[in-house]
Chains A and B, each alone.
Chain A
Amino acid sequence: MQTSLLSRSLLAGTFAAALFLTGCASKVPLNKDSGAGDNAAVDSSRQVTPVDTAGAGSSAGENMSQAELAARTVYFDFDSYIVKPEFEALLQKNAAFIKADKTRQVKLEGHADLRGTREYNLALGQKRADAVKQALSLLGVPEGQMEAVSFGKEKPMSEDLSEEAQAKNRRVELAYP
């Protein structure tokens, strides 16, 4: 599931041209002060070859009904990483589902609200995903059947900056691939 999944739109011609340019690029110092005819070949291996990912995998919430989504989403308070008691039943149900089949895998996808930097929000989403993983672990789900990952603020439920909308963004979605 790694690079082999990527369909490269490597245009053979472009590729060859890039190799050619790399091969013959010369590094003559350029800034000569006098003497016309100080020819210098410019290093121009500045080709860009486009790549397309197959990138099909949609995120957990995207193809689910509201009801399905509600049954698999844990929401968090502002600046909080504690799983609230109201989500206990949801987690118990999912824990039973995962434990029923040892080959079943669950991905815990953490999300943050839109405020702040992308990378720090990735870490905050991870903290929420780790909290849900911990809760499931206490309900007996084996470590090997879970992976906690984060989407940070890259997949918000709402782009709206109101607090009500932001509350929907601070969440962990349980995804069954």
Chain B
Amino acid sequence: MLPFALFRRRFVSALAATFFYAASAQAQSVQFEVSGVGSGQIPIAIAPFAAEEAAPAKISQIILGDLQRSGQFRSIDASGVALNEHSQPDFKLWRGRAADALAAGSVQATANGYELRFALWDTLKGQNLVQDALRVPAGSLRYAAHRAADIIYEKLTGEKGIFATRVAYITKSGGFYKLWIADAADGENAVAALSSREPIISPSFSPQGDEIAYVSFENRKPVVYAHTIATGQRRIIANFKGSNSAPAWAPDGQSLVVSLSRDGGTQLFRVSRSGGAAQKLSSTGINTEAAFSADGQSIYFTSDRGGAPQIYRMGAAGGAASRVTFGSAQALSPALSPDGKWLAYIAREGGGYKLRVMDLASGTSRAITNTTEDERPSFAPNSRLIVYATRQGGTELLMNTTLDGSVKTRLMASRGDIREPSWGR
């Protein structure tokens, strides 16, 4: 693996790397706008992939878009260049164009889909870094391009890429609530997994990413469902008397914690992934918004046991809890990073609700947004980004942010309010 530091860095002073990626004409696609400081970006050239003009997706543009939106790459023009994965690039030429890395490849139709081949070179060392090929069924070419971007990203940064992951969100438009599943990298391939005239809230991807749990009001009360995304099959996780809400998957995917009002107040219960009996984990007042620690040993949750809502932590079997958040009037909506290092949550400060990120090792936290109606943070699988909902100028929208808040990406729906994000695999 080539460490990032080996690359010649070109510090672009206070680069306002604002660009706009207008996705294709899909009605519900999400558009991304990046703004932030981009010093130390890796300059990379991606040549047009051989035969991509004839393919349904422009591979080189998808890969380049993914890398640029990460905030860690800068595009060096390679339009009109004829290269593929077998080429022997003129490294001197690319060094002259100030590209530290170069990628090229080809796309070929196969009997039942496509084969994507690509190569990555370090132009400074004149070295090949990656030679790879991906075979996909027809209809999954964009997915293959995102996988290629992940491989390039990991090779050059040493971090896992998240371009081939999915994000779920809810829209409210024209009297309909819809739960969408879309490509997390660029918002493309958005499909409404569920449509309803009644509200849908709290979607949560299963750890494997093949199922999604959520709260649906279609029976005129909140009921928790789990939904197999590929087949559309649904099953009830919790439908007890009163309200059923806030599903949180255990990391092994075998059980969930939900919030039930059946015994009075709002309490946390554990329930199997197939539903059935619920085992009570808390006793009085409001205890809700559960989130598991990455190792499955602890449950973080919001409780009013001390008066105003704050975030607490207890063992996965329930019992004594300790307070985690201090210094804000309220703290709500905990989310834990998959690497176990970070807690994201919403803090009430000066009348506004703001996303904060806490370093769990030190307990120190900082607000990372300038907005005042932030909600529902969810970590990317590589723990480097957070998606959250907020409101600007009366419009509900989704944002992505790095954990330090330095690079933010706006996800814009073409219509309707967009909310309640969950980042899956």
Contact = CB atoms under 8 A, between A and B. Distances in A.
A85 interface: no
Given A36-B133, A46-B143, A149-B243, A55 B264 contact: no
A42 B376 contact: no
A48 B265 contact: no
B232 A122 contact: no
Interface string B124-140: 00001111111111011
Interface stretch (A64-72, A94-102, A112-120): A112-120
B23 interface: no
26 contacts: A3-B235, A5-B218, A6-B234, A18-B231, A30-B132, A33-B130, A34-B128, A40-B134, A42-B136, A45-B210, A47-B229, A48-B181, A53-B198, A55-B197, A116-B348, A119-B201, A119-B245, A122-B201, A122-B222, A122-B245, A123-B259, A126-B265, A148-B242, A149-B243, A149-B261, A152-B222
A123 B144 CA distance: 43
Contacts of A148: 242-243, 261
A53 to B, nearest CB: 4
Given A46-B140, A118-B376, A37 B133 contact: yes
Interface in B210-246: 210, 216-222, 227, 229-232, 234-236, 239, 241-243, 245-246
Given A40-B134, A120-B333, 17 more contacts: A33-B129, A33-B131, A40-B133, A42-B140, A46-B140, A47-B229, A48-B191, A49-B230, A51-B234, A53-B198, A116-B330, A117-B346, A119-B201, A127-B286, A148-B261, A152-B201, A154-B199
A138 interface: no
A58 B288 CA distance: 26
B8 interface: no
Interface in A26-42: 30-42
Contacts of B57: none
A126 B242 contact: yes
Q: Secondary structure at chain B's binding surface: helix, strand, loop or mixed?
A: strand
Interface of B: 85-86, 115, 117, 119, 128-137, 139-140, 143-144, 147, 151, 154-155, 166, 181, 191-199, 201-202, 210, 216-222, 227, 229-232, 234-236, 239, 241-243, 245-246, 259, 261, 264-266, 286, 288-289, 302, 309, 330, 332-333, 346, 348, 353, 375-376, 420
Contacts of B242: 126, 147-149
Contacts of B227: 51
A21 interface: yes
Contacts of A5: 218-219
B132 A38 contact: yes
A39 B191 contact: no
A127 to B, nearest CB: 7
A38 B133 contact: yes
B235 A49 contact: no
Contacts of A39: 115, 133, 135
Given A18-B231, A36-B85, A126 B243 contact: yes
